[in-house]
Structure 1
Amino acid sequence: MPVTADKSPSTSPESDNLFLPDFCGIRMVFLVVIIAELAAIVIALAPLEVSLTERWTRLGLISLFIQWCALTSCAVLCLLRRRLSRLPVWKASLYSYLLILLIIVLVSEGAYWLVHYPGGLGGLWHSQFLARNLLIGLIITGPLLRYFYVQQQWRRQVRAESESRLQALQSRIRPHFLFNSMNTIVSLIRQKPEQAEQAVENLADLFRASISDARQRVTLTEELELCERYLQIEQLRLGERLKVHWQVGDLPDDAQVPALLLQPLIENAIYHGIEPRTEGGTIEVEGVADGQQLRMTIRNPLPETPSSRPFRPGNQLALQNTRDRLAAGFDGPTQLTLDEDDRHYKVCLNFPYEPWHENSDR
């Protein structure tokens, strides 16, 4: 596995401490537009004495006004995100709140003088119009900022719990694997010193990965190379009983994944599917790219005796950690599914394609 130099820390919205979401992203802007339109519909339909025709007219004007406020707020918060992220939470909250209210006042002032005519804007006086819009902004913006803060705290807690479980998984190399590997290396030192040297290097790479930061990310190519090194060690011990079929040529080389995402699953496949079988078997590793989603499948034969099958209690640690890491490591939808038929056990991973870039965490 090639040694790579440390990269600079990420400056993405996920890496700063600001509780606000990324208002520069298309998905968040689209969500803001939807929320703003729903608010416009509620405000337009609120008066009961207004006719249906007038409601539609009011809806058009109110929608235009609220969308201007919402999109301008998104643009300002996007531009000031880096500065806001350097402030304490209470200051960032206060400044964000005041900025949004200031935008509402400015847009209200512009709308009043642009559209004002006798009877226009519901016949409200200037001060009444500004006061009403400011009050609506106070009612909507406050709970919304509070929701963003609570959501960020919840995500941080989930990520911390996931990383602690991941660190426990990474620091745990099964003792039987270590002892078997050392015995294999000792037996090869005199007869096949080159293979023994290669086995030591592979084992060192596995230990290096197991004690690395749980938040470290690697390219999918590096993760697959680490899996191959692990399989080379097991191949020395299991010999012809272990066969591996790779079908990953369609996967993008620059996709980034959490470190040790696949190796524990392959280790499970050997431990529960190959070792209990007298004749051994074949582990199949397949990967395909489906648009912006990547799908990987690890399939192994079932043990000969039902008592050794992977679903028995206590053997789900690697699967649960992988599931948690998928959820915490990607912004898009992820999934880990298990399937079993009469002959094979299968683990399927689905996660977004996130290309490697210079600011990715290492």
Structure 2
Amino acid sequence: MHPESALLPFDESTALGGLSQPEDPTVRLPARVNVFDACNVGVVLRAVLFVEAVVGVGAMFGTSLLADWLLRFALLTGGVLPATLTWLIGACVLKAYLARLRTGYQWLAGIGLGALAGLYGCGLLALMGLLAPAPWLASAAAGALLSSVLVAGLVWRAKARTPAATAARLAELQSRIRPHFLFNTLNSAIALVRAEPAKAEAVLEDLSELFRHALAEQAESVTLGQEIALAQRYLAIEQIRFGERLRVQWRLDPEAEPAKLPPLLLQPLVENAVRHGVEPSAQGAQVKISTARRGSMVVLKVTNSSPAGVGERGHGLALANVRERLALLHDVQAQFKTVFKDGVFQVRLEIPL
């Protein structure tokens, strides 16, 4: 029996309907979780911009001319900016220690550190003779208040990074091994059992490895090398199914493999390439996966040719989830782009090494 003759149609929507679960709107942090993830370029930029915006608004009180506002804003920035950076550096340096505290104590530590930073900023301005008398108590209170807002932002970010908070957003990605893919793979393996038992065994091993990763408790990040190995198993299965219709080209840079990615990020991109490039076309399509290290960044590209009349349709939900997960891990340090031109669709990721 030819392998493709064993492929049976399968209603994916029916199966998925039985597996869907309602989204839990209540998200809680566990008793111990590190809310101080200030060692991040995006966090630093947002914190500085927020504090400077507050200072800018505060400088408007008591001034009626633009020149007076600019002068007061510049003077206050001379104390507030070093104090903010001190708070961020302190939160980053103490990250490992604070992670061992309960969440409530982390809040208190962050607010206390903000009060000290406020005193530090006030001291700088007093030392330069710009504050007389120095408002020590008001500065400590302002530092504590601003730091509480920053801690609240970090807590919200920590919630978004925890598996409980991202469960709903990962639901679509967790169903990436679609039911019809599972049944087609099993049918292909059955068809190969008598004619080519070694190949059938390899197919089942690849399928088992895919499901082992799908059902395992996921870490926050994995290496690009691990993701490539998993994608290779997936494409090996699809190669049995599509034969010459699926033409895969790998162009891999070994120096790029240590880059960190959210788990199971590459496989949905590869599946999209097969689903929207190979499946709709009787002639099949070419799928290219390339990695390259460029300084401190790694560039990952997944490219597929598309049959005539099939453009970017269908490239939506999975890509949006991939983009969001990448932003949760690397924030502004990572980039995600998609391009469709001349019948070729490409996903391009830039990841810090």
Task: Answer yes or no: same fold by TM over 0.5.
Answer: yes
Looking at structure 1, the residues matched to 117 and 52 of structure 2 have their Cα atoms a distance apart, in angstroms, of 17
Among 206, 213, 232, which residue is 1:209 paired with? 213
Shift of 1:261: 1.4
- Per-residue CA deviation, residues 174-202 of structure 1 (Å, 9 max, x unaligned), is 22222221222122222212111111111
Aligned partner letter, 1:336: F
Contact 1:162/1:324, CA 8 A, preserved across alignment:
no
Q: What is the aligned partner in structure 2 of residue 153 from structure 1?
A: 156
Q: CA deviation at 1:323?
A: 1.9
What displacement does 1:255 show?
Answer: 1.5
Change (3 A) 1:134 1:319: same
Q: Percent identity?
A: 30
Does residue 285 (structure 1) correspond to residue 301 (structure 2)? The answer is no
C-alpha separation in 2, matches of 1:243 and 1:274: 9
* 1:339 pairs with 2:339: yes
Question: Could you tell me whether the CA contact under 8 Å between 1:332 and 1:351 is conserved in 2?
Answer: no
Is 1:256 the counterpart of 2:252? The answer is no
1:165 and 2:179 aligned: no
Going from structure 1 to structure 2, the CA distance change for 1:144 and 1:229 (only over 3 Å counts) comes to: same
Give the distance between the partners of 1:288 and 1:330, measured in 2 at CA.
Answer: 18
Q: Does 1:93 align with 2:93?
A: no
Query: Who is 1:199 aligned against?
Result: 203
Q: Deviations over 1:87-136 (max 9, x none)?
A: 44444333443444356557867986x77xxxx666x4xxxx34x13313
Q: 1:19-34 to 2 correspondence within 5 Å?
A: 19-22=35-38
| Distance change in 2, residues 1:82/1:228 (3 Å) | closer
Question: 2:334, 2:60 → 1: CA distance?
Answer: 39
Flag the 1:317–1:194 CA change in 2: closer, same or farther, 3 A: same
Corresponding residue SS for 2:141: helix
Call closer, same or farther: CA 1:146–1:171 in 2, change over 3 Å.
Answer: same
Question: How big is the shift at 1:222?
Answer: 1.9
Change (3 A) 1:230 1:27: closer
Tell me whether 1:190 sits opposite 2:206 in the alignment.
no
Q: For residues 79 and 61 of structure 2, what CA distance do their matches in structure 1 show?
A: 17
Mapped partners of 1:331, 1:58: distance in 2: 29
- Secondary structure of 2:256's aligned partner: coil
Q: Deviations over 1:20-61 (max 9, x none)?
A: 442x66786788778888889999998879xx9xx989978x
CA contact (8 A) 1:220 1:257 kept: yes
Q: Could you report, residue by residue, the CA deviation over 1:223-250 in whole angstroms, capped at 9, with x for unpaired residues?
A: 1122122111121222222211112236
Gapped regions of structure 1 (runs ≥ 5):
1-15, 355-362
Distance 1:146 1:197, change over 3 A: same
* 8 Å CA contact 2:273, 2:304 repeated in 1: yes
Aligned counterparts of 1:74 and 1:327: Cα–Cα separation in 2: 20
Measured in 1, the distance between the counterparts of 2:145 and 2:275 equals: 53
Take 1:189 and 1:233, find their aligned partners in 2: how far apart are those partners?
15
Deviation, structure 1 residue 269: 1.7
CA RMSD of aligned residues (A): 4.0
Q: Give the Cα separation in 2 of the matches to 1:58 and 1:182.
A: 68
Instruction: State whether residues 202 and 233 of structure 1, in contact with CA within 8 Å, keep that contact through their aligned partners in structure 2.
Output: yes
With normalisation by structure 2, the TM-score equals 0.71
2:225 alignment partner AA? T
Change (3 A) 1:168 1:65: closer
8 Å Cα contact 2:298/2:351 also seen in 1: yes
Q: Helix, strand or coil for the counterpart of 1:330?
A: helix
Q: CA deviation at 1:83?
A: 4.1
Q: Which amino acid aligns with 1:175?
A: P
Q: Secondary structure at the match of 2:108?
A: helix
1:39–1:342: structure 2 CA closer, same or farther, 3 Å change rule?
Answer: closer
Report the CA distance shift for 1:96/1:264 in structure 2 as closer, same or farther (over 3 A): closer
In structure 1, the residue corresponding to 2:333 is in which secondary structure?
Answer: coil
Match in the other structure for 1:272: 276
**Aligned AA for 1:322?**
V
SS at match of 1:260: coil
- Are residues 348 and 250 of structure 1, via their aligned partners in 2, closer, same or farther at CA, if it must alter by over 3 Å? farther
- One-letter amino acid of the structure 2 residue matched with residue 179 of structure 1: F
Report deviation, 1:320: 2.4
Tell me the residue number matched to 1:328. 328
* Conserved? CA contact 2:111–2:145, under 8 Å: yes
Structure 1 residues 167 and 208: CA distance shift in structure 2, 3 A? farther
Runs of at least 5 residues in structure 2 that lack an aligned partner in the other structure: 1-31
The aligned amino acid for 2:233 is R
For 1:316 and 1:299, locate their aligned partners in 2 and report how far apart those are by CA, in whole Å: 16
Count of equivalent residues:
319
For the residues of structure 2 that align with 1:58 and 1:236, how far apart are their CA atoms?
67
Q: What does 1:91-170 correspond to in 2, within 5 Å?
A: 91-102=105-116, 105=119, 124=132, 129-130=133-134, 132-153=135-156, 156-157=159-160, 160-170=164-174
Aligned counterpart, 1:351: 350
Question: Matched residues in 2 for 1:58 and 1:161: separation?
Answer: 39
Q: Does structure 2 conserve the Cα–Cα contact (< 8 Å) formed by 1:295 and 1:351?
A: yes
